[in-house]
Amino acid sequence: MSSLFKKMPGFHRLESLWKLSYRAIAIEPVLTRSADEETKYRIDEIIGRKTEKTTPDMVPLVFGDRVVFTGNAVKGLFRHVISSQLTSAGHTVCVQDVKAPKKGPPEGRQQQCKPENPCFICTWFGTGSRQGALHFSFLESVKNIGDVVARDPIPMIAMMDEFMATSVEKRAFVIVVPVKEGTEFTGWIKGVNLSGEIIGAVKEVVDMSEKGFIQFGGLKTRGYGSMRLEITSIEKYSTTPFKLEKEYKGEELRKFLESCQAEYHNLLTKTSSKTS
Ligand SMILES: [Zn+2]
């Protein structure tokens, strides 16, 4: 596959800088990953001590006054969806060493790429040994924590593996306080020397999210986490000298994303016709 996608010029050559701003709206209740005890108390106060337990077991991650997803969690989601789509199209992308099962990578995947010959995924998302060209910000709720958490805690019988992530105690009955539907989050993706293909791949994930297929955070199998994404603007900066070259918004943004997505679709087709 390495010969099929448009190569990134390399970090030694700074050709362009990009900022993709986006918003995410919760379609279902959402539980951003785990939280410390202090946050549990804080949320318990917000909802008004409705549970029989001292504090709820699963509450959103909070920074300052906002509910957040870490940039790493968002990046992992994009990486997973794009990797699995490319694999399904017949492209060979790698599995990071830290994620690979002991018996080797799953069918259709290769071992982590050598730094000098990265696959599409390593090029843009990086690996332990290689810097990626994309950087994901925290995804932050627009409103305050008090305005976004569900006021009625949800009791749930937990599977042990779900629950083990939140506590070392072994209770099977857990109290969940998610972020409510309709909550808006904003964030951005920064990039160095981006190609149309990778911007198109991001747009592809956005399209899937519109139909409810992209889920964030915990308890996905329980119907939590679906978020609708929308790219709100793209800024492209030239670098010699550094200045804003173009800001895509509205109709121009729509057209630009459409052309990037066409490049990405073209990449998907290239390999599937070659290997099948
Ligand atoms: Zn790779």
Ligand 1 centre and the CA of 124: distance in Å? 9
Compute φ and ψ for 59, nearest 5 degrees: -135, 165
Over range 216-229, report the average pLDDT.
Answer: 87
What is the whole-number distance in angstroms between the Cα of residue 114 and the centre of ligand 1?
Answer: 8
45: which 2 tokens?
């106060």
pLDDT at residue 192 in the model = 96
Ligand 1 midpoint to CA 91 (Å): 11
Q: What is the CA(152)–ligand 1 centre distance, in A?
A: 44
Mean pLDDT of 172-184: 88
| Mean pLDDT comparison of 103-107, 119-123, 232-236, highest-scoring range | 232-236
Q: How many domains does the chain have?
A: 1
**Crossing angle for the helix pair 196-210 and 71-88, to the nearest 10 degrees:** 100
- Quote the ligand 1 centre to 208 CA distance (angstroms): 23
89 CA to centre of ligand 1 in angstroms: 16
Task: Confirm whether 1 is domain-assigned.
Answer: no
How many Å apart are CA 53 and CA 47, to the nearest integer?
Answer: 13
Are residues 196 and 24 in contact, defined by beta-carbon separation less than 8 angstroms? no
Q: Judge whether 138 lies within some domain.
A: yes
Residue 6 lies in a domain: no
Long-range Cβ pairs for the range 157-165 (8 Å, 24+): 158/57, 162/218, 162/219, 163/57, 165/34, 165/218
Least confident interval from 54-63, 151-160, 229-238: 151-160
Residue 85 located in a structural domain: yes
Of the listed ranges 94-108, 174-188, 230-244, the least confidently predicted one is 94-108
Distance (Å, whole) CA 46 – CA 151:
8
Q: Is the pLDDT of residue 156 over 90?
A: no
Does 9 reside within a domain? no
In a domain, 119, yes or no: yes
For residue 216, the 8-state DSSP code is: -
CA 267 – ligand 1 centroid, Å: 16
Distance from the alpha carbon of residue 115 to the mean position of ligand 1, in angstroms:
9
Mean pLDDT is lowest, of 32-36, 210-214, 272-276, for 272-276
What's the pLDDT score for residue 163?
Answer: 55
Distance 118 CA to ligand 1 centre (A): 5
Q: For residue 206, how far is its CA from the centre of ligand 1 (angstroms)?
A: 23
Closest by CA to 247, choosing from 24, 23, 19, is 19
Per the domain annotation, does 75 fall within a domain?
A: yes
* Residues measured by CB to lie within 5 Å of ligand 1, the ion: 94, 113, 119, 122
Are residues 16 and 193 in contact, defined by beta-carbon separation less than 8 angstroms?
yes
Give dist(CA 104, CA 85) in Å, integer. Answer: 20
The boundaries of the domain holding residue 110 are 16-275
Give the pLDDT confidence of 10-55 residue by residue, as tens digits: 888 999 999 999 999 999 999 887 556 667 777 777 777 666 666 7
192-201 average pLDDT score: 97
In a domain, 5, yes or no: no
Residue 52 has, within 13 A of its CA and on its CB side, a CA count of 3
